[in-house]
Amino acid sequence: MRYRSTSGKAPLTSLRGATLRGLAPDGGLYLPVEIARHTPEELEEFRRLPFTEVCFRVVRPFATPDVPEEVLWQIVAEAINFPVKLVSLSPALHILELFHGPTLAFKDFGARFMARLMGYFVRGEERQLTVLVATSGDTGSAVAHGFLRVPGIRVVILYPSKRISEAQEKQFTTLGENITALEVSGTFDDCQRLVKQAFADEALNQRAFLTSANSINVARLLPQMFYHVAAYRQLPVASVPLIVSVPSGNFGNLTAGLFAKRLGLPVSRFIAATNANDAVPRYLLSGEYKPNEAVATYSNAMDVGNPNNFPRLLDLCRNRIENVRKEIWGQSATDEETLQQMHNVWDRFRYISDPHTAVGIHAWEAYRKQHPEPSQGLVLATAHPAKFAEIVQKGIGIAPPLPSRLAEYLNRPKLSLPMTTNYDNFKQFLLAH
C-alpha cells in the first residue's frame, strides 16, 4: 500500500515512511491511497475465524509489501492480546468495551500496534530511536505501555508536575526500563513546547534519532479498525441498520470507523459525539468549520478545540459537506448531561459508564429521538470507569470498583526525573542519555 498526504503536495510513501514521519512533509496527514472492499463472503468468514486471524486479514493490504506476513502476524498477535467485549443493554443499545487493555482505555489498540510496527521498522538501524511525547494524562500511559520493552526504542515522556492525577501519573512513571518520565515544573503547554523545539532543532536531530507518537500517526489508526470488526462479529445479524456512536476528541477513532466502513462493514451512520468542544457537530449543522479554544470538561480526554484528524474525515468524504452529513451525524453533551446520562444508564441497566462513554450514549439517545425508524445503536466505550472515579461517583453516587491492574501501579515507586522548562536543560538531557 502507498500512502498519500491529505494536502496532496508530498510524494507518495510507504507504510514505513508514513509511520516514521508521522506528519507528511507538506503538513498534511497520511491516508492510504485506496481501501479495498472485502466481499460479503469474506465478511461472513470474519464472523467465524479466530480474532487474530481476522485482524491480520484486515490490516494486511495496508502493510504489504513493507512488512512480511510472519512479522505482521506477530505484531498483531502481540499488540491485540486483550478482548473486545460487547455488552447489550437492550436490543437497541449495545456498548463496545474497548478498555480491557493494560491502561484501561482504547488508546492501547493504537499505541501497542504502532510501537511494534516502529520497532520492526527500526530493526537494523544503528541508532536507537527516541520517541518523544508530551502528555496531559492518558496518552502518556498508553504510549509508555505500548513501547515497554520494544527493542531499539526508548520513550521520553514529559508531563506537567502536580497537574495530573496520581493514578494517571503512576501508570507511566513506575515502569522504568526503556521508559523515562520527565516531571516538568510547568504546564502541559510547556511540555509541548519543549517537544516541538526538539523536533525543530536541526543540530539535535543530526545527533539523535527522534520521532513522535501523537495521534496523527496513520499507524495508530489502522488497528482501530479491528474493533469495528469485533463488533460486527458479535452483533446479532444486522437486519436493523447499525448506528455507531463515537465519543470523539481528535477524531482518530471516527476516522478509523470510516476506514472500516470502506472495507465493507455495514454501518448506516456514525455519530460524532463530543463534549462542549463541539467544532464538528457545529460544522455538521452550519456547514462552516470554526474551531474554538479547548475548554475543560468532565470527559477531559476529549477536550480538543481543533481536532487534528478533521482533514482526514473531510478527505474520506471527498471534501463535500453533503457526503459528510450522509455518513456522520453530530451531537454534543454538556457536563450536566454527561452526569445525567451516567445516572440514567446506572438506573435503567445497572451499568457503570465513564464520562466519555456517557457522552456517546447521550448522543445516541438524541439521535434516536430525531430518527424514530428502527435502528440499533453501538456506543464505543473508550475508558474504564475506574479511571474517572471521582466523576463517576458524582454521577451515580458510588465509586466504581478499582481493577487490580490500576491498583497495582498505585503501590509502586515513582521513577520520574525532574526537568525545568528550559530548553537547553532538556536538550542536554537528550544528548547525555
Ligand X SMILES: *Cc1c(COP(=O)(O)O)cnc(C)c1O
Which member of 214, 248, 338, 416 binds ligand X (CB under 6 A)?
248
How many residues in the chain? 433
Of the two residues 18 and 104, which places its CB atom closer to ligand X in the complex? 104
Q: Is 174 in the site for ligand X (CB under 6 A)?
A: no
Contact region with ligand X (CB under 6 A), list: 51-59, 115-123, 245-253, 419-427:
245-253
Active-site residues: which are they? 107
Q: Is 226 in the site for ligand X (CB under 6 A)?
A: no
Calpha distance 196→176 (Å, rounded): 24
CB of 106 to ligand X, least distance (A): 6
First to last CA, the chain: 36
Q: Is 430 in the site for ligand X (CB under 6 A)?
A: no
Calpha distance 250→307 (Å, rounded): 4
CB of 175 to ligand X, least distance (A): 19
Contact region with ligand X (CB under 6 A), list: 21-29, 48-56, 243-251, 390-398:
243-251
Q: Is 301 in the site for ligand X (CB under 6 A)?
A: yes
Of the two residues 152 and 330, which places its CB atom closer to ligand X in the complex? 330
Q: What's the CA dihedral at 335, 341, 343, 348 to 10 degrees? A: 180
Of the two residues 131 and 143, which places its CB atom closer to ligand X in the complex? 143
What angle do the packed helices 107-121 and 138-147 form, to 10 degrees?
A: 40
Of the two residues 170 and 427, which places its CB atom closer to ligand X in the complex? 170
SS3 assignment, position 342: helix
CB of 433 to ligand X, least distance (A): 29
Q: Beta partners for 85?
A: 97
Of the two residues 75 and 302, which places its CB atom closer to ligand X in the complex? 302
Q: Is 198 in the site for ligand X (CB under 6 A)?
A: no
Long-range pairs for 341-347: beta carbons < 8 A, 24 or more residues apart: 341/365, 341/395, 342/392, 342/395, 342/396, 343/395, 343/396, 345/89, 346/395, 346/396
Full DSSP string of 375-408: -EEEEEE-B-GGGGHHHHHHHHSSPPPPPHHHHH
Calpha distance 90→282 (Å, rounded): 30
Q: Is 252 in the site for ligand X (CB under 6 A)?
A: yes
Which member of 171, 253, 297, 416 binds ligand X (CB under 6 A)?
253
Q: Is 217 in the site for ligand X (CB under 6 A)?
A: no
Residues 366-425 that bind ligand X (CB under 6 A): 382-383
CB of 48 to ligand X, least distance (A): 30
CB of 255 to ligand X, least distance (A): 8
Strand order in the sheet with 417-419: 209-212, 129-134, 153-160, 179-184, 417-419
Residue pair 119/67 in contact by the 8 Å Cβ criterion: no
Residues 32-91 that bind ligand X (CB under 6 A): none
318: left (phi over 0), alpha (psi -120 to 50) or beta: left
Residues 331-360 that bind ligand X (CB under 6 A): 356
Q: Is 107 in the site for ligand X (CB under 6 A)?
A: yes
CB of 113 to ligand X, least distance (A): 14
Of the two residues 32 and 152, which places its CB atom closer to ligand X in the complex? 32
Q: Is 112 in the site for ligand X (CB under 6 A)?
A: no
Q: Is 193 in the site for ligand X (CB under 6 A)?
A: no
**DSSP annotation of 100:** -
Calpha distance 273→170 (Å, rounded): 29
Of the two residues 144 and 301, which places its CB atom closer to ligand X in the complex? 301
Q: Beta partners for 131?
A: 155, 211
By CB under 6 A, name the binding residues for ligand X: 105, 107, 138, 215, 247-253, 301-302, 356, 382-383
